[in-house]
Structure 1
Amino acid sequence: MPVGEVFLGAFLEVLFDRLAPRKLSLLPCENWIRSELKQWKRKFLMIQAVLNDAEEKQLTNEAVKVWLEDLQDLAYDVDDILDEYATQVLERELMKEQSTNRIVDYFSSWTPSALISQADMKSKIEEITCRLEDLCEDKNYLGLKEIAGGSSTVAWQRPPSTCVPTEPAVIGRDADKAKILEMVLSNKQSGGSFHVIPIVGLGGVGKTTLAREVYNDKAVADFDPRTWVCISDDFDVMRISKAILESITSSSCSLQNLNEVQVQLKNKVTGKKFLLVLDDVWSRDYGLWETLKAPFMAGAPGSRIIVTTRNVDVALTMGQSEYFKLELLSNDDCWGIFEKHVSGSTVAVSGQNLNSIRDKVVEKCRGLPLAARTLGGLLRSKQRYDEWEDILNSKLWDLPEENGILSVLRLIYHHLPLHLKRCFVYCAIFRKDYEFMDEELILLWMAEGIIQQSENKHLEDLGREYFRDLLSRSIFQRSSINISKYIMHGLVNDLAQWISGETSFRLEDECSLMSIKRFDRIRHSSYTFRRYEVKKNFEVFHKVESLRMLLRIVLPLGYGEMTYVTMTVFLDLLPKLKKLRALSLTYYHVMKLPNSIGDLRHLRYINLSETQKLQALPSRMHTLKSLQKLSLLQCPNIESITAEDFPSNLKSLTLPLSIYKPLTECGWHKLTSLRRLSISGLSFPEEEIIEIKFPISLIHLSIVSFPKLK
């Protein structure tokens, strides 16, 4: 797996920010430690310079791959240490705010348990420094060098498309083709001589194929000229303009001046109804688009420009307020494409074997015609049925090198900006078909520290921007079952899992354990629920002491259906997970958390929703100064709770009314940082009138299921 790019760019940029002088000055440490941290940054910068080279060489050099994996581990460990210091800063500031004494000595508010001992601090610093120096030495030994101009992008490029049909008939797109033709042939104008028709969809869904079908249809024969240009990620106006001019004139263009090229291009289209296809557009630069389209303003009314893109924002930049969203194919159509491309194979499949093959093909393709075509091509050359099964049972990244699915999907990751790459890879923790809320994922990103603080925006607002960007790029899709939730296409999920490598682990069944090579590399983990869970089910997590996130994945339950866990499971497990930042333990009938949870100082996110018989929170919950989000939705049996039971720095809180009422009575003045509050009325009697009071810091309120509200 390509461990390089995830941490070379995105993760290291976060570390550089945390090692900036303005941040180091806040750390509660001696000058020699601060000086050592500055050296860390210098050495990380030296390593970053050769990471592009390492990323390419890891594919053929196992030693380089191991070097990158060690760097990945070190980056996480450095981040953990910096986070521990940052937590101390936060605790110190909160203690200052709560102190009545205006003159507080630098260390007066620290207790021995809260302050890292100088010996322990020195030991951790020295260990990191030693590992970092080893990586720098190994860098030279492995011959890693800085690549001028960045890494080679050849491996990330798709072959240029053309307007020439690649197959005699296209399966499953008749209705889509009819709709696009209707848009092309309609009399609709958009305030100019031409109208832009964007086709948007996931990579491999068939956008280029659909545009090609429309381009070659007899119904558009009266468009003259007709031109096809493949754009890809290089939106060079000069290159594109020359390519269009050469296509129209059927001759090469030697002009080197953009003005001359565009003047000739304008002359060629003046007064003519043209059809132009711009395939595979990635750029959202409105200025470049304005320059490119200038010559086409001279065209005749009714002219059309078809744009294919994976990004909604590109469509809205180049077009108007509407675009055509190309959806996934049906299972039957995917199977039809597979059959067409596998035909000619010597393997005879029938009966029960045929049904098994069909189920596996449909499951692997999940509506993507590219996947169906690629699988058909791979299996076409195989001579035995067991070879077919091997391929269909393989992970995406274990398929033969001629597999075209992965190369297309990798473009999704390649074109993400650095700040979105970690957001995307984090989603590897979700099992396929898992439906998630946008706010849920944003809060998990925040807990991981992926979203970096901005002077002008709150973290939640930045998170929503990140989420919308990934949605516009078709990485997330709205669930067809619940429109308030989102999913990832199965192959996109595979891509996230492939890139995350050993840092993410999904415990779905016993076979999952077979894939683990290094428990110490795991940082994020999820487990799929069972009806009854016992200690044995959680043994693996006792080996993963660097775990940052533990998430319970709950599949849809029947009405009134509950799940159960042995009471001592989390009492024994959680105290060992000292680096935990996010904890989600939902839909248990009853469970108990240890009071020692207060020692998990990195914890930022806790979700205990739908734990019907949860009677009390740990007594030391209030000591979790880093805790930002706590969800107790549908936890009606928690008793004797006050505002003092919550950390004062809490920013988001979800409660049932049974908890909210006593909190209202004792006042909200302690929760001065609370920004988001969600309250569920549950099943209170209709004659009871509820009066709601809010903390003054609140900016978002959600109220659900109240019979009477005053």
Structure 2
Amino acid sequence: STFSSIAGDTEFTSDIKRKLRYLETSSGLVDEMNSMCDALNKMHNQLEKAEATAGSNACVNQLTAIVKELEDKVVRFVNDTELNQIVMKNAIDLLQHLTKTCIIKKPESTKVVNLSLPLIFKEQDLVFNLTASIDNASKICIMGMKGVGKTILAKTVYYNKVIVEHFPTRVWITVIAGANKRTKVLLMKNDGTKYQTLTVKQVSGHLKDMDCLVVLDNVSQKNDFDDLYKKLCVSEWQRGSRMVVTTCFKEVALHVDSRSTVHHIPLLTKEESWSLFQKVAAIEKQEPDKKSELTEMETFAKKVVGKCGGLPLAILSLGFAISAKGIAQKSFLWVFEQFNHGRYKTHWLTTWENNRETLSESMRNCLYYFTKFPLDYEISARRLINLWVGEGLVEQNNQKTPEDTAESYLEDLRDRSMIQVVALKSNGKIKTCCLPSMLREIILQSNNRTNHSQYFDTHLDQRFAYNFDDHGLDANSTQAFRNKGIPVSVLFFDKREGSEPGKRVGNILSSGIESEQFLKTRVLDLECIFRPQLPETLSKLNNLKYLSIRWTYLEELPLCICKLLELETLDLKHTCINYIPSSIWKLKKLKKLYLPQNFRSKLEGKPRGNVEETLHTLWGVFLYGNYPLLGYLQNLKSLQKLKLAFQLNGSEQELQKTLAQKIVQLEQLHSLTLKSVDEIGDPEKLILTDMLKLEKLSSLRLFGQLEDTFHVRLLPKNLTDLTLSASKLSVDPMPELQLMPKLKSLCFYADSYIEKRMVCASGFQELKVLRFWNLEMLEELD
């Protein structure tokens, strides 16, 4: 191993020191070089005592390279001695930084500096579950793809001070697939007997008399787990003993114990990836005169780091390589080229092979959908879920809505490390995500040479994606023009400004409709296309279920849209449309309607036919005066998501009370957002009534000044997410909020609380997120 090549020397740099005695140079320079050698020796000793992880191995490689270079420079010390001295000192300073960042020590207490924030929370959860008196915690599984940090997390827990004190005996087993007879076991005891290497049979006798912790690292087969469990977990095991299993395979994780929660280690988000890279590459510690150069490089560097797909091992290695080669664009390009064709691609290949056969047909279709988006495209979870549901890819489930099932697909793909989460919502759910570029390449290549190829080709034939860049249609999208199939979905991507994108989209749609190629299309996604010119013949798309013109900045609603009688989802958010005609209610199968709230769009008329029963999402409505919606809102009995803004103040406050009374009649509501504003959008008084009847309401966002008589106890008991903005509360709500048993996310935004002191109660049972922003009066948080 790498460690054995440097271990065993009594002095790592003794030969260099001997050579220094024969150099004709000042004693000051010799002392400086001796100091460098001492620093290298100290790091050598740290690494020799460290656990073998990817980070520490990379440090060893750096250390060996620096010692070799130092030895070469000692021989050539006649010229440029000052330059050599500076170069070597900088290299050693960098290595000291890397050593502190990347090693895991073997003592009983461990601190891992490069453990990402999600893993720190995972460590806390694992330590709690392992030491608590919980019946279903006897076996705990850590799951994630290779290189994501399972072993690092397990070792961090293994050496955690609380764990060491709680378990008199700890055992670490690195499992070799199909070779349990040759597996060696590391036994550690708190009575002074440490680091004994035994066989599985020998160690089983040490696990009978007291609570023990057994870690099975890298289990890849169910049979291996069963065999080891049978040999280790004899009937004499104490009730407080625990087992931790790490694996890349979901099937193994569920086999370990289907009753306990699997601790999934997801890929890092883009923000977490960049933070880890900065630590390892020491970018933040560069000289001030290089600041402008770094600012210029940062965008490019983030793109390269982003291509690591959130895989910590790849990011660590990229950081080490860049720290050695220097922060330059050519360094990034060269290093990433090696990564792209090197060993980290095999990690993604393994992930694909491990999961491909176990994905249901529905989930496989949903995963393939990612390949229709441009490379490294960041996709909102909202968009994906609506697309999947709109096309009918989601399996029917009587216990869940199609949207909830689609969201579970997305979470499952995340847990399998097949997608990277780019950003999270305040409640911890996925906000945006992407398909890692290496995995995308593997999916496209493997499906061209496997028995899935025909199935995958059919998938591609049914989904057209037109992706335009600065030079026009990119090479990967030309097949959409050549394709003579009948598409189920048609998607457009074009970030260019000006009128050209809108014209091009209009021409393609006109041609496709005229040739009858698009007549069976169910999904049409024009999101972010600047002002597409929709043809009147769009009304011929009699099978269209989903239409998105979000972020298109259209100024008028084309009347042809109101003739799409099969339409279920219409997304007009972030357009400039300020008038929605009453003909919109001809869409009798409409389930989701998203409106451009910022433009205070006036929604005319009232629902017709079955719309009152089918509409379950009404997002972005703006009310003012005697608005038609006030007359029929209470009739929308199937409404599950509602976002309302209103200007009902002064003489119209009675209307706001009427509105509050009608909202509490919508007993199917799951999500509710209310905003009370004046004519320029500033917060106004917000009147609420008793909401206890809304038993299904889980998410509530309130913007506006709440009444002095407002009481938290009038909120629904099943709330999991609560956000307050501009509430101007003068009474601390925390004592009442902590009594809400299911609250997981609590956010106080601008001027929601106007006193100097708040008591942050510890009685919350489920709270995971607590946010404060722009509370100018708050000075003390207890």
TM-score, L = length of structure 2: 0.50
From 493, 497, 512, the equivalent of 1:527 is 493
What whole-Å deviation, never above 9, does each CA across 1:627-654 have from its counterpart, x for those lacking one?
3322225163335322239856633231
* Structure 2: unaligned runs, 5 residues or longer: 1-50, 60-97, 103-111, 188-198, 283-292, 323-328, 445-455, 677-685, 690-782
Q: CA deviation at 1:708?
A: 3.1
Rg comparison, structure with higher value: 2
Match of 2:380 in 1: 436
CA change 1:280–1:272 in 2 (3 A) is same
Q: Distance in 1 between matches of 2:666 and 2:551?
A: 30
Q: CA deviation at 1:517?
A: 3.1
Match of 1:93 in 2: none
Structure 1 residue 243 and structure 2 residue 187: aligned? Answer: no
Match of 1:658 in 2: 623
Q: CA deviation at 1:604?
A: 2.5
Q: Secondary structure at the match of 1:453?
A: coil
CA change 1:661–1:449 in 2 (3 A) is same
Match of 1:278 in 2: 216
What whole-Å deviation, never above 9, does each CA across 1:71-97 have from its counterpart, x for those lacking one?
xxxxxxxxxxxxxxxxxxxxxxxxxxx
Structure 1 residue 403 and structure 2 residue 345: aligned? Answer: yes
What fraction of aligned residue pairs are identical, expressed as a percent? Answer: 20
From 138, 152, 168, the equivalent of 2:57 is 168
From 287, 306, 313, the equivalent of 2:244 is 306
Match of 1:636 in 2: 600
From 671, 675, 678, the equivalent of 1:705 is 675
Q: CA deviation at 1:422?
A: 2.5
Match of 2:62 in 1: none
Match of 2:525 in 1: 551
Q: Distance in 2 between matches of 1:480 and 1:392?
A: 27
Q: CA deviation at 1:608?
A: 0.9
Q: CA deviation at 1:596?
A: 3.3
Q: CA deviation at 1:662?
A: 0.9
Aligned partners of 2:545 and 2:566 also within 8 Å? yes
From 366, 388, 405, the equivalent of 1:445 is 388
Match of 1:536 in 2: 503
Structure 1 residue 479 and structure 2 residue 420: aligned? Answer: no
Q: CA deviation at 1:335?
A: 7.1
Aligned partners of 1:279 and 1:307 also within 8 Å? yes
Aligned partners of 2:174 and 2:183 also within 8 Å? no
Structure 1 residue 627 and structure 2 residue 569: aligned? Answer: no
Higher relative contact order (CA 8 A, sep 6+): 1
Q: Distance in 2 between matches of 1:267 and 1:628?
A: 63
Aligned partners of 1:606 and 1:630 also within 8 Å? yes
Letter in structure 1 aligned against 2:675: S
Aligned partners of 1:184 and 1:304 also within 8 Å? no
CA change 1:226–1:550 in 2 (3 A) is same
Q: Distance in 2 between matches of 1:524 and 1:293?
A: 57
Match of 1:676 in 2: 640
What whole-Å deviation, never above 9, does each CA across 1:338-382 have from its counterpart, x for those lacking one?
99xxxxxxxxxx999988974553232254234347879999xxx
From 635, 649, 673, the equivalent of 1:685 is 649
Q: Distance in 1 between matches of 2:673 and 2:123?
A: 47
Match of 2:30 in 1: none
From 229, 232, 235, the equivalent of 2:175 is 229
Letter in structure 1 aligned against 2:572: L
Q: Distance in 2 between matches of 1:598 and 1:284?
A: 56
What whole-Å deviation, never above 9, does each CA across 1:473-496 have from its counterpart, x for those lacking one?
454648357546624555537646
Letter in structure 2 aligned against 1:515: N
Aligned partners of 1:606 and 1:629 also within 8 Å? yes
CA change 1:703–1:194 in 2 (3 A) is closer
| Superposition map of 1:259-274 within 5 A | 269-271=207-209
Q: Distance in 2 between matches of 1:699 and 1:185?
A: 37
Q: Secondary structure at the match of 2:590?
A: coil
What whole-Å deviation, never above 9, does each CA across 1:439-490 have from its counterpart, x for those lacking one?
x544432211122334555434544544554455454648357546624555
Aligned partners of 1:677 and 1:698 also within 8 Å? no
Q: Distance in 2 between matches of 1:184 and 1:646?
A: 53
What whole-Å deviation, never above 9, does each CA across 1:677-698 have from its counterpart, x for those lacking one?
5141233335423223369886
Q: Secondary structure at the match of 1:306?
A: strand
Q: Distance in 2 between matches of 1:699 and 1:637?
A: 25
Q: Distance in 1 between matches of 2:575 and 2:298?
A: 41
Choose between structure 1 and 2: higher strand proportion: 2
Aligned partners of 2:585 and 2:606 also within 8 Å? no
Q: Distance in 1 between matches of 2:365 and 2:182?
A: 41
Match of 2:572 in 1: 608
Letter in structure 1 aligned against 2:628: P
Structure 1 residue 426 and structure 2 residue 389: aligned? Answer: no
CA change 1:451–1:404 in 2 (3 A) is same
Aligned partners of 1:608 and 1:633 also within 8 Å? yes
Aligned partners of 1:331 and 1:362 also within 8 Å? yes
Q: Distance in 2 between matches of 1:586 and 1:667?
A: 25
CA change 1:648–1:458 in 2 (3 A) is same
Aligned partners of 1:194 and 1:302 also within 8 Å? no
Q: Which has the larger displacement, 686-695 or 360-369?
A: 686-695
What whole-Å deviation, never above 9, does each CA across 1:395-436 have from its counterpart, x for those lacking one?
x9x857983243144257524333322233334566657463
What whole-Å deviation, never above 9, does each CA across 1:145-172 have from its counterpart, x for those lacking one?
xxxxxxxxxxxxxxxxxx9756635765
CA change 1:443–1:362 in 2 (3 A) is closer
Q: Secondary structure at the match of 1:704?
A: strand
Structure 1 residue 515 and structure 2 residue 452: aligned? Answer: no
CA change 1:576–1:420 in 2 (3 A) is same
Q: Distance in 1 between matches of 2:321 and 2:543?
A: 44
